[in-house]
Amino acid sequence: MLVGAGDVGFLRTITLIAALGAFLPLNLAALHWHWGIGGVGGADGVHPGAAGGHAAADRRQPVGRRRRRALGLQSATGGGVTSAVVPERLTPPPGVVVVDKPAGITSHDVVAQARKALHTRKIGHAGTLDPMATGVLVLGVERGTKLLGHLAGLDKTYAATIRLGQSTVTDDADGEPLSTTAVSASDGTVCAAVASFIGEIDQVPSAVSAIKVGGQRAYARVRAGEDVRLAARQIRINRIEVSAIRRVGDLLDVDVVIDCSSGTYVRAIARDLGAVLGVGGHLTALRRTRVGRFRIEAATNLESLDAQAISPIEDVVAQVFGRRDVDAEEARVVAHGGRLAVAGIEGTYGVYDEHGAVVALMTETGGAARPLAVLRPAP
């Protein structure tokens, strides 16, 4: 067979490539992933660089060697390039979780820890508890945060200890004492004074509170040295019972259980009880045991908080609010924020579609049913 000059050059090129391949093996899989070249197909056998393939999905940079070691990942080829992908954290389901807040941290601290535990920043709470207080703190997760404003207004139950004979700057044990007076009142006198708080009353909130005055929190103004005086607000005490009375030297500790409306300051009750008896008073312990139908028995500790503790939005709405069932067209209107004809249902209620899924919270005012919170994204 005759070989031309051009053929000789071609053969030399082939020989050189073969020699290089013996000493410098190329990682075709790595080339394929990093630059989109080579003959290695994707997981479904389609070339990622070809038209109609999955080029956009596969244009990822390989995980670095140090990153692989930190994550415990192994190279698919045994070399310096790996096709392993760092797994993404799953978003928790939307809903509500009830946490048993420990003492010594703020409600915002609880939210921060819950965000870490549940791997989402979309978490808020329905009603602040002071750092010294413990007990029920209702958290909204993801779309469950839309419920918080409507859960914050629910009635609450507290177990508290009031120390009579001493008043403080903050009306609780965290504040500096202002005065101390020996208590000579009998147990019967104390119980009668406690019972006088039952019903609708005007309460002046504690000056060291989160209420805004001129755009600034009242407690911030107090800490800055200002003399803050807040306006009285009407609250409702449904029940206040004395469960124990203990003498502590010249002072008196009174344990009480209180059922009250939202917006009630138990610190202010302690302050006002001391004023009624003429000896001063402040709060030494506070535990919230109920918010609406959320009870302390069903609360989760922060240490064990996970997605399993989240109650779905549908369950929460069914537990707390009334119900209205609508057809597919009405559900579509509500999902887009539209109004419906009134149905004669008082208060806030949940609207459910033809499949029994909750769409929104609504209330009836001005001759129409208006959405307060759309809980299902519009299709």
Per-residue pLDDT at 47 = 33
Q: Is the pLDDT of residue 198 over 60?
A: yes
Out of 14, 39, 71, a domain closes at 71
Q: Which CATH number do you get for residue 303? A: 3.30.2350.10
Residue 53's domain comprises 5-71
Q: Check whether residue 171 and residue 282 sit in a common domain.
A: yes
Active site residue 306: no
**Structural domain contains residue 358:** yes
**Structural domain contains residue 266:** yes
Band (pLDDT 50/70/90 cuts) for residue 207 is confident
Q: Check whether residue 57 and residue 167 sit in a common domain.
A: no
**Structural domain contains residue 123:** yes
Band (pLDDT 50/70/90 cuts) for residue 206 is confident
Global pTM value: 0.75
Mean residue pLDDT across the chain: 82
Per the model's pLDDT, the better-predicted residue between 343 and 55 turns out to be 343
CB 137 within 8 A of CB 129: yes
| pLDDT tens-place string over residues 208-244 | 777 888 788 887 787 777 778 888 999 999 999 999 9
Select which of 130, 171, 172, 259 is catalytic: 130
**Average pLDDT for 289-316:** 96
**Average pLDDT for 310-315:** 96
Q: Check whether residue 181 and residue 213 sit in a common domain.
A: yes
For the chain, the C-alpha Rg in angstroms (whole number) is 33
By the 10 Å C-beta count (0-12 exposed, 13-18 middle, 19+ buried), 97 is classed as buried
Per-residue pLDDT at 87 = 52
Q: Check whether residue 111 and residue 200 sit in a common domain.
A: no
